[in-house]
Structures are given as C-alpha cells and as structure tokens.
A and B are shown apart, each in its own frame.
Chain A
Amino acid sequence: MTHRLSEAWYQLPWVVRRVVVPLAVLALFVFYPKYVAQLPVQWAPQMGVMVQMCVFAMMALGLNVVVGYAGLLDLGYVAFYAAGAYIAGLFATQQFANTTFQWKVHFLPVDVPQTLPGIHISVWLLLVIAAAFAALLGIAIGLPTLRLRGDYLAIVTLGFGEIIPQAVNNGDDVFGHNVTNGPNGLTPIDQIGFGTSIHNAVSILPANYHTEINYLDYYYWTGLALVLFTLFCCIRLRDSRLGRAWVAIREDEIAAAAMGVPLMRTKTWAYAIGAFFGGLAGCFYAVEKNSTFPGDFTLNISIFVLCMVILGGMGNVWGVMLGAVVLTYLNYQGLAAVGRELNINISLYSYGIFGGIIVLMMLLRPEGLIPSRRRRVEFRAAAEGVDVGYAVAEHE
C-alpha cells in the first residue's frame, strides 16, 4: 500500500512535490501556535510538547547520520546530549562563582546584572560552542573505537553513554573542586533573547523570551529554526561526496575501502556530525528547561531516540522526523491522555511500549514507516537471501 502511495507521490509534478507541499507543511508548522487554541480537538499537542518535539527531532536527525547513513549503531548518543546541556549549564550560570573558582566573565548575556558573578556567555553563542564541543567529544570517542566491528561498537558507545552521566554526577568533587555541582544540577541558566537594542530595531524579536506571555511560542519558533537548519544540513550531507561514502561503508566496508574510501576518516566524520546535532539539541533543551541535572541523561534517552530513527525509517530524514514527532507526542502527552481515559498509568510503562515498537518494526517492517528507497531494497534483499549490492544496483 505504502509502495503505491510513494509511486503516486513521484507521479506528481515537480513544482507540487518540491515547492507547494513543503511550503504548505512549513506554514502549518510555523503558524501552529496561532491556531492551536482554536483547534476543536483536545488531544492536539500543546506548545510545551511541540518544543520537546523540536529537541528530539534534532537529536533523531543527528543520530540518523550515524545509524541511518553510516550504519554505525550508537547506543550512547545521550552522552553528546549531556555534553551540550552541560556546556549551557557551566557557561551561563553562577557555577563558576563558587568557592574554588570565583570567576566573573560576561559576554553579551541577556538580562544578567553586571554585578552577577560566574561565567555568563550569550546563549546564542553557547549553542554553537556546545555543538562544536560535542563534535570534538564525538571525535575523541570515535577515534579509538570506530575500528571495532558493528556490535562491539554499539557496546562501547553504550559504555561511554553510561560513563559520561556518571562522571557529571560525581563531578562535584574533582579532587576537591566542585565542577558540575553533582546531582543537584546547574540552575538557573541564563535566559535567551535578542536584547533590547535588537528588539527596538525589529519589534517582533523579543528582548527576553521569559518576559513574554507566550514565551513557549518563541522557544518553539527557535527550535523550529534549529530543526530546519539540521534538516538542511542532513539533506545536503546525504547528497554530498561524504554522504555517498557513508552509504558505501554501510553497504560493504571492504568494497568501500577497496574503492578508495578512507574508512576511519569517513566514520569519524559521521560520528562528529551526529554528535554536533546532539550537542545542539542538548544545549537548547537545557536553556529551555532553565536547568540541567545528571538524572536527565539516562540510557533510556538513547534508546528513545534510536526508536524514533527505527520507527521512521533509517536513513530517511522525513521518516526520522515523523518518528520523532510521533514518539515525542506519545511520550509527553498521548500516552498520559490514553491512560487517563482508561484510568491506568500508562506513562510508567512507556519504555515497554517503545521496546515493543522496536521489536515489531524489526520483525514486520525493518525499513521503517517511510523508508529510504535504498534501505528498503537492502532489507528486502537480505530477507530473500539475494546479494544486497546486486539488488540495489538492479533497483536503480
């Protein structure tokens, strides 16, 4: 059925496929806060959930680069998310005003009094720094581990995903210095905004999100812009020389190496870029939540994001976005609503439901809801015992 749907989709004229439909969908999303209150249904996602969707869509797209494009299973993606969040937490709070450090650095923060101690760097800049730091962390983790075989790599990344939150949790006593404030977390994080001078010039840009009544709308639009940026990068990367190298490695590592694809460098790039978006999402999430705690970064998050990628369709950005939207909605609003109707606490069992989704998808539709065409051929060929490379070549 879906196959016929996608056939029909490709029959549509170019203008409809590439201009009209994307613009219509984009408009639906951009103006969502304006009409959500008028929607006649109760189950429409609330603004807070929409912001979460943006965060998870960024993460899912980032993980898709690693898992979907390059075929490297990463079970410790939460490490990069945590890294991004802690960059925001460390450099936009009063953390470095404690007894050990007593530093005072200000760089274009919004609504931070001149006298406030600690490091306060503009949150916009921190988004970039966090993403770059996460990418560096990705390279640092990737260099020693990426030569491992697939399933071993999964376990090693899982190890890192467990070690980094624990290190953050124990980071309130690094040889007697309080670096991360341990289980108490870092709060409050500086607020995000455009500052009064920009606000006076362009009045629709708020000076400080938190002084606005509809501040969640502004977070949502910011998140949406970041998702669009991520999406743009992912699509361009997919079609680039690097993206084709990833696919080549995923399909046959030995053949790719024989064709002159530098394995380590290509894989490390996948890792770094995936981590980049994880860090970006983490930083945005921490700023939106105004705090960051070690308890936010558990293995469950890694699995949750992986579940989005699998549900939507590994390697297909649209599928992955759909997976992120559906699962985030279920996790933060849908399941609770269903539970209220049935009078049971389903949220408690949400991870069992996600586990069930993973198993069912793998058994029944391993290519995901909206598969990338290449992936579908790969899975089908493997199931029928046909040579994968031959089947893909045949299909194209």
Chain B
Amino acid sequence: MRDNPAGSRATLAALPNFKQHANLVMGLIVTGIVFVVLVGNAVKDWRQFVAIMLTGFTLGAMYCLVALGYTLVYGIIELINFAHGDVFMWGSMFAFTIGISWFGLDGSQTGLVTAALVLVTMVAAMALCGTGNVIIERAVYKPLRSAPKLAPLITAIGMSFILQTLALWRYGPGERTADGVFPDSRLFTIGIYGYAWKNLIVVLITIPVLIGLVYLVRSTRQGKAMRAVAQDTDAARMMGINVNSTISFTFLLGGALAGAGGTLWVLWQTSTRYDLGFTLGLFAFTAAVLGGIGNLSGAALGAFIIGLLQAANDGLSWHVPGSSWTQSVVFAVLILILVFRPQGLLGEATADRA
C-alpha cells in the first residue's frame, strides 16, 4: 500500500530506492551482529558454545510443535490463534494430571514401563487438547468466520484469558513440579558441560510426531483437502470438499501437536504453571512468522532458529543481553521480520500478506 502521491513528492521519489535496499541492509546488519556474537562466543569457549547450542536444539523442537499449530490454523483461515499457547499449557496440565498424578511417573519405573506410560500420557493429552481445540473452534471462531477480520482475533485473545483462568482455578497460581521422569544423567560431556539424556529423548520423540504430521498433510485425502482449503476456500467448496470439517480437522491437528508439546514440556522441564502458554505461545508464534506463516517447513526452521537464539541469549557469556532480555530479543526479531520481510524466510511474497 502506497501513500497518496499528492502527499510529498520529494520523499516518494527517494522512497522506493531506499526501500529496495533497506531490507537487504537491515537483514545484513542484524544477521551480521548475531553472527559476530556467536562466533565470538564460539572462539572464546567452544565447549560452552556447543553445549548450549545442543540444548537450544531441544528448545527448538519444543517450539516447533507449538509453532506448527499456529501456522496450520493461519494457513487455513488466516487467524492468529492467540489461545493456542494456552492449549499447549493445558496439554502440559493434562500430562501432569494423567502422567504424574495418576500413573505416578517419577523416574523410578523401569525404562520400558516409563516409555509405555509416557506414550499413553502423550496420546491422551493429544486427544484431549485436539478435542478441546475443535470445541473452541466450533463454539467461538466458527460463528465469526464472516465477521470483520479483527473480530475473531479479539475473540481469540479473550479465549486465551479464559483458558488461563480455568487453569488458575483448577491448578492454583503456583508452579506444579514433578520429579524428573526422563533421566537427567549425562549422555556425554564436553569439557565441564554435560549433555543430559532428557534433551536427546525430547528430540527423539518429536521427530516421529513431525514425520506423522508431514505424512498426514502430504499424503492423505484429508491433508489434500486441507491444502485445497488453504489455497482457495471457495474453489475447494465447489469441488465438494467439506470446508467446515476440514477446518475443524486442522484445529484437531494443531491441538494434538500442542498436547504432545505440553506433555514433553512437563516431562522435560519438570514444572508447569497456568501462565506458561502466554510467553511460550508468543515465542512459537514468532517462530512461525520468522519461517513464513502458513508454511510448515518454515515454521520448523523458525522454531529451531528461535530455540537456538534463546539458548544463546540465555546461556552464552560474551556480549549477549542475558536472560533478563529474552522477551525483548525474541520480540525484536518478530518486529524486524514483520517490518522488513513480512513473508518470512521461506514464505512467498504476496500482495495481501504484507
């Protein structure tokens, strides 16, 4: 969207030229600074650098599960599902109740029993979150599908607060802590820095979930319907695709991913709280935007970048802002991306997206 040319002719003449290069220059400057800081740290203490990056990879896997939920829903109905982070939080709460309270998982069981119970917990949390997400979609988003665009977004914000308050009411304001279910023992050590088994286990569980998702979207009839609706809702409807059930299925899928993420979070971090979903959800959303919202592989790429960035910011020691600035750093990435490359790293530029 351009300004009215009658406004200021002088700036307009200079503007396109500046705009062409500004994106490139800003991108280079920001990437350059990040690169210098990372290399500086790597040179100063490469063992610390490697250890922290490996932890960041696990964090990235976590964000990946949540970011995919944002990107799936946005891709299909162009709604920023604000409540998604809180669905993730509820996933962690379900996992806490089922896995920790009912099954009594505390790391004392044998490996095989633990694996089986974790699997059952995770499937249950995925089912509950998926169903919950579909109920929310049917109850509050569906009636607003033809309303002005900001109405569903505002509704999603309200929904986010409702979900948080329900968790506050059910689980109380404090942290819910569990004993470490995944072994905390070291898989290997680099210098004084250890790499815990649990970091690897989280990544190992994430991978089959992601493969399952890719299979669903790429190779099944339902996945084909999703892609069709995302591309052109009206045309898809004319081809006989049930648009409503396809949208609900997308919410089911997003909710299930969030449930899986929540389960892994509570087992990995061993604690959860009613407001966990807010910040984490926004970080995951940033990841989805960074990769190019609506683009699945973009969301995964963005999630790993954000995970590594956060780990680097929180853990490294040489000229990094430190953990008291984490939110600012991540949101700065979000703002820079939206301002200078709104289509994201892997997204395609469309007139409407910008």
Contact = CB atoms under 8 A, between A and B. Distances in A.
Interface of A: 71, 73, 75, 144-145, 147-152, 154-156, 158-160, 162-163, 166-167, 169-170, 253-254, 257, 260-265, 299, 303, 306, 310, 348-349, 351-359, 362-363, 366, 378-379, 382-383, 385
5 contacts: A154-B153, A156-B338, A352-B166, A359-B159, A362-B154
Given A166-B328, A352-B165, A363 B144 contact: yes
B324 interface: yes
Given A356-B162, A378-B148, A363 B338 contact: no
A355 B162 contact: yes
Nearest to B352: A149
A149 B353 contact: yes
Contact of B161 (A154, A260, A352): A352
B80 A359 contact: no
B136 to A, nearest CB: 10
Contacts of A359: 140, 155, 158-159, 162
A396 B285 CA distance: 42
Given A147-B1, A265-B7, A383-B147, 8 more contacts: A148-B338, A155-B289, A160-B331, A261-B4, A264-B3, A306-B157, A352-B162, A362-B151
A353 B162 CA distance: 7
B147 A366 contact: yes
Nearest to B143: A363
Interface in B54-99: 78-80
A366 B151 contact: yes
Contacts of B78: 151
A382 B155 contact: no
Contacts of B282: 158, 162
B173 interface: yes
Given A162-B327, A355-B165, A366-B151, A257 B4 contact: yes
B185 interface: no
Contacts of A152: 338, 342
A303 B155 CA distance: 12
B339 interface: yes
Nearest to A141: B335
B331 A145 contact: no
B211 to A, nearest CB: 30
A156 B149 CA distance: 17
Interface of B: 1-4, 6-7, 78-80, 140, 143-144, 146-155, 157-162, 164-166, 168-169, 173, 278, 282, 285, 289, 324-325, 327-328, 331-332, 334-335, 338-339, 342, 352-354
A159 B331 contact: yes
A149 B161 CA distance: 24
Given A148-B339, A158-B282, A163 B3 contact: no
Nearest to B334: A159
Contacts of A383: 146-147
Highest count of chain B CB atoms <10 Å: which of A254, A262, A362: A362
Contacts of A303: 157, 161
A151 B150 contact: yes
A160 B154 contact: no
A155 B79 CA distance: 12
Given A152-B338, A156-B335, A366-B151, A260 B6 contact: yes
Nearest to A356: B162
Given A264-B3, A351-B161, A150 B149 contact: yes
B3 A262 contact: yes
A363 B353 contact: no
A321 to B, nearest CB: 20
A155 B158 contact: no
B339 A156 contact: yes
Contacts of A362: 140, 144, 147, 151-152, 154-155, 158
Contacts of A366: 147, 151
Given A162-B331, A382-B146, A358 B154 contact: yes
Nearest to A71: B150
A352 B80 contact: no
A150 B150 contact: yes
B1 A145 contact: no
A378 B148 CA distance: 9
A150 to B, nearest CB: 6
Contacts of B155: 358-359, 362-363
Given A355-B159, A359-B155, A379-B148, A145 B140 contact: no
B321 to A, nearest CB: 9
Nearest to A364: B143
B275 to A, nearest CB: 10
A171 B119 CA distance: 46
Nearest to A354: B161
A170 B323 CA distance: 11
Contacts of A351: 161, 164-165
Contacts of B152: 362
B146 A170 contact: no
A167 B328 CA distance: 8
B223 to A, nearest CB: 25
